[in-house]
Chains A and B, each alone.
Chain A
Amino acid sequence: MPGSSFIRTVNAEAVDFRDIPVMDFADFRESIIEEIRAGGRISAMPACPAEDGLLRIIAVLSLPVSGEILIGSTCINGSWPSITPDCTAAHWFEREIAEIHSVTPNGHPWLKPIRFQPPHDISLQEYSLQCGNAKFLGLDGEESHEVAVGPVHAGIIEPGHFRFLCHGETVYHLEISLGYQHRGIERAMKGGPGVRALHYMETLAGDTTIGHATAYCMAIEALSAISVPPRSLAIRAIAAELERIANHVGDLGALAGDVGFLPTMSYCGRIRGDVLNMTALLCGNRFGRGLVRPSGTAFNLDKNLIDELMLRLKSTEKDITSAVELMFDTPSVLSRFEGTGALSEETAREAGLVGVAARATGMNCDVRNEFPYGMYCFSQLHACTWNTGDCFARAYVRWLEIRSSIEFIRTQLLNLPDGPVSCKTAPISKEKITVSLVEGWRGEICHVAVTDKEGRFAFYKVVDPSFHNWFGLALALRNQQISDFPLCNKSFNLSYCGHDL
């Protein structure tokens, strides 16, 4: 039976690392393919050195139907028959393993570095590969040409290199080459948690400070077997939803700007700041730095603060509604959004997309429902979906989510559980593995922590939703006009540093 050798666990629960089965590679491969076909997702696929110079690949699969997380592993010696030809969603994971551990997935259709980081066994000084210097897909023929953009882009945006293979104005394929933001976070997490661990998480993707800090804290709390007070869970959820609203509002404004609809662009740029300022009311920092701590939250809410937040939520809701409805009521905006960069649900599923981009195709995926954690165990949010998979859908799903998040925050503020906001910490248990899943504003965030015999991190794996979705952007751009790239790109709005780590 497929998956039978995988160990079954749930979100943010620690299990003995020794209990993770080491399977025969053929079984491992077959089980992954079967589970993904049955509706599962690959949430992470880290690898670590095993005995006798072998490499142990660990697959973390999440099953939305049952809410379970499956963990299994296999050992390989230098190479393995690539899983990608039978399971597209594995392709970026296999490229990552190949890059970090100097091994080869045989038969991988498009193997090249994803971050231009040195393999774990050689030092940075010995590493000579220049970022972006890879063998890109080429296009030959009359009227065909290539357009290279980046790493430095036109706006205030993170760096990445894009290469459009065009025939006239039509894009046949987009090659995305990242790695410019690589800061070595996972390497630095090894042997931790150190004094910087939480700060790495908060700056991993600065616009997802709450999302990544929450996933990290859930991992630490699972490893040290503590359960944090309900009031802190509610505050974390409020901060997470504020983060979602702020980014979604910013994105809707930027989307309006990309089609030249300036009123909504101007309003949303400002309103985004208003929402960030609400987060700053919680903890002093607009991005929520210093709020989420392993043991709870560093700040509490008193009655005055709750009243102030309720007041601001009301006026911000009014501002957002008028700005966004204006955009969706404007035919010239809709005609640019509709049908641009469309992805089918089937493609999204096959490519393993998550978050807004996946929900815009009709996929009903949302970690808050599928693998509930923290406050979402007690207070459910429905997944907001649309079915056209185009730029309109990605914009509209954001608008639906903004409304649902505002309602959620209001409910939480009015029903905050009593009690403290933090508890005592405890030592981290040894030789455990834990998987924490969080629905960040871009989609599923997955952190995998494994501790060694001393209770230090043997490795710490982070999978940002952008890791799953960058390829989705490449697919969405096929057969589009090259001039639609800014619009498509913004409708995904993926993180460069979250991917590059």
Chain B
Amino acid sequence: MINIIKTRIQQKYRTFVYPDGPPPELPPRFVGRPVVSKAQCLHEECGKCVSICPVQAIYLSPETKGPIIDTGKCIFCRQCEGACVNGVIQFSRNYQLAVSEPENLLVKAGVPDHCDARNKVAEKLFKKSLKLRQVSAGGCNACEADTIVLGTLAWDLGRFGMQFVASPRHADGILITGPVTRNMHEALLKTYRAVPEPKIVIAVGSCAISGGPFYDHPEQNNGAGGIVPVDLFIPGCPPHPLTIFDGLLRFTGRIK
């Protein structure tokens, strides 16, 4: 017993003060939300960003005369940034990537750098208690790991009444990772149906939003969207825990 107390003192109090204080420090080389500047884009004369992107997340817009990056597909490999001749594409350190409307996943010149993840229905129903069932449907265990970590005492999601539960029957919604493999399709649907109404769906990681690195493989479904209605999209490969944490809190109106 005395050892347990000694260790407890040695390990200190480690729960982050965020959102009441500043967020935990991100690594200097952190890759956050891309920014498309209004600088001179060579457009179709160049197109290097489009061809270098391994997951077809970039296309050129005739409307803005510049690139559009789909952060729901982007795996944040940063290759487009290196390929861009005029520095039109740059990756910021902004960790706020979660959005509740799919069109806000698109980053183009002139869009605000702040995304809106708030969902009024979720705020009304789940602000003080949100129980989620997690389903990994082809996830590589990175998104899963960055979701598990939210339950540890450093992030302590339980402070906000949020918790991952064992049965879909006990849940208010599901949190999906992975591109939804053909072999998990049915299991995901059954889990979704087992959650009582009203319910929400959260897609975490580029796989769950669009298929990620496996985009257009016949063995998967290009994300959860075609199978269940998604209410919150959290991009990243994998998203930093802070991105998921912040997304969940904004979604339920805990941070405004």
User: Which residues of A line the B interface, CB within 8 A?
Assistant: 116-117, 123-124, 130-131, 151-152, 154-159, 179-185, 187-188, 195-196, 199-200, 203-207, 209, 250, 263, 266-267, 269-270, 272-273, 276-277, 280-287, 289-290, 299, 318-319, 322-323, 326, 329-330, 495-497
Contact = CB atoms under 8 A, between A and B. Distances in A.
B27 A281 contact: yes
25 contacts: A158-B144, A180-B137, A180-B187, A181-B178, A183-B219, A184-B217, A185-B214, A195-B52, A203-B213, A207-B140, A207-B141, A263-B8, A266-B152, A270-B152, A273-B149, A277-B27, A280-B29, A281-B27, A281-B29, A284-B27, A284-B29, A318-B10, A322-B7, A322-B10, A497-B138
B7 A183 contact: no
A267 B178 CA distance: 28
Range of interface residues on chain B? Answer: 35 or more
Contact of A196 (B55, B142, B166): B55
A330 B29 CA distance: 40
Interface stretch (B60-68, B102-110, B233-241, B247-255): B233-241
A157 B220 CA distance: 19
B219 A284 contact: no
Instruction: Report which residue of A207, A283, A284, A495 has the largest number of chain B beta carbons within 10 angstroms of its beta carbon.
Output: A284
A322 B184 CA distance: 41
Contacts of B184: 131, 151, 159, 180-181
Contacts of A326: 3-4, 7
Given A157-B136, A199-B75, A326-B3, A188 B217 contact: yes
B181 A180 contact: yes
B139 interface: yes
A267 B11 CA distance: 7
Given A183-B219, A196-B55, A156 B148 contact: yes
B143 interface: yes
A286 B139 CA distance: 16
A98 B142 CA distance: 31
A203 B54 CA distance: 13
B3 A280 contact: no
**Which are the 9 A-B pairs with shortest beta-carbon distances?**
A206-B142, A206-B140, A284-B29, A269-B152, A131-B183, A154-B166, A184-B219, A280-B27, A195-B54
A318 to B, nearest CB: 8
Contacts of B141: 158, 205-207, 495-497
B238 A206 contact: yes
Contacts of B133: 152
Contacts of A182: 138, 181-183, 219
B39 interface: no
Contacts of B166: 154-155
Contact of A272 (B29, B54, B55, B149): B149
Contacts of A269: 148-149, 151-154
B250 to A, nearest CB: 21
A12 B7 CA distance: 45
A283 B3 CA distance: 37
Given A152-B191, A263-B7, A206 B183 contact: no
A269 B241 CA distance: 13
A159 B136 contact: yes
Contact of B142 (A156, A195, A209, A299): A209
Contacts of B145: 206-207, 250, 276, 287
B164 interface: yes
Contacts of A195: 52, 54
Nearest to B10: A322
A289 B212 CA distance: 14
B154 A158 contact: no
B149 A181 contact: no
Interface in B189-247: 191, 207, 212-214, 217-220, 237-238, 240-241
A234 to B, nearest CB: 18
B72 interface: no
A322 B11 contact: yes
Interface string B119-149: 0000000000000011111111111111111
Contacts of B11: 267, 319, 322-323
A319 to B, nearest CB: 6
A266 B149 CA distance: 10
A305 to B, nearest CB: 8
B34 interface: no
Interface in B77-116: 77-78
Contacts of B142: 203, 206-207, 209, 287
A323 B27 contact: no
Contacts of B182: 124, 131, 182
Contact of B238 (A152, A155, A287): A287
B138 to A, nearest CB: 5
A200 B179 CA distance: 13
B41 interface: no
Given A157-B144, A203-B142, A203-B213, A273 B241 contact: yes
A100 to B, nearest CB: 13
Contacts of B137: 159, 180
A283 B10 CA distance: 30
A18 to B, nearest CB: 32
Contacts of A270: 14, 152-154
Contacts of B27: 277, 280-281, 284
B28 interface: yes
A329 B146 contact: no
Nearest to B240: A286
Contacts of A156: 134, 136, 144, 147-148, 164
A158 B30 contact: no
Instruction: Report which residue of A158, A183, A284, A323 has the largest number of chain B beta carbons within 10 angstroms of its beta carbon.
Output: A183
B31 interface: yes
Contact of B31 (A285, A318, A496): A285
Contacts of B214: 183-185, 188
Instruction: Report which residue of B76, B167, B219 has the largest number of chain A beta carbons within 10 angstroms of its beta carbon.
Output: B219
Contact of B135 (A117, A152, A263): A152
A130 B181 CA distance: 12
Contacts of B76: 285, 289
A367 to B, nearest CB: 21
Nearest to A278: B27
Contacts of A285: 31, 76
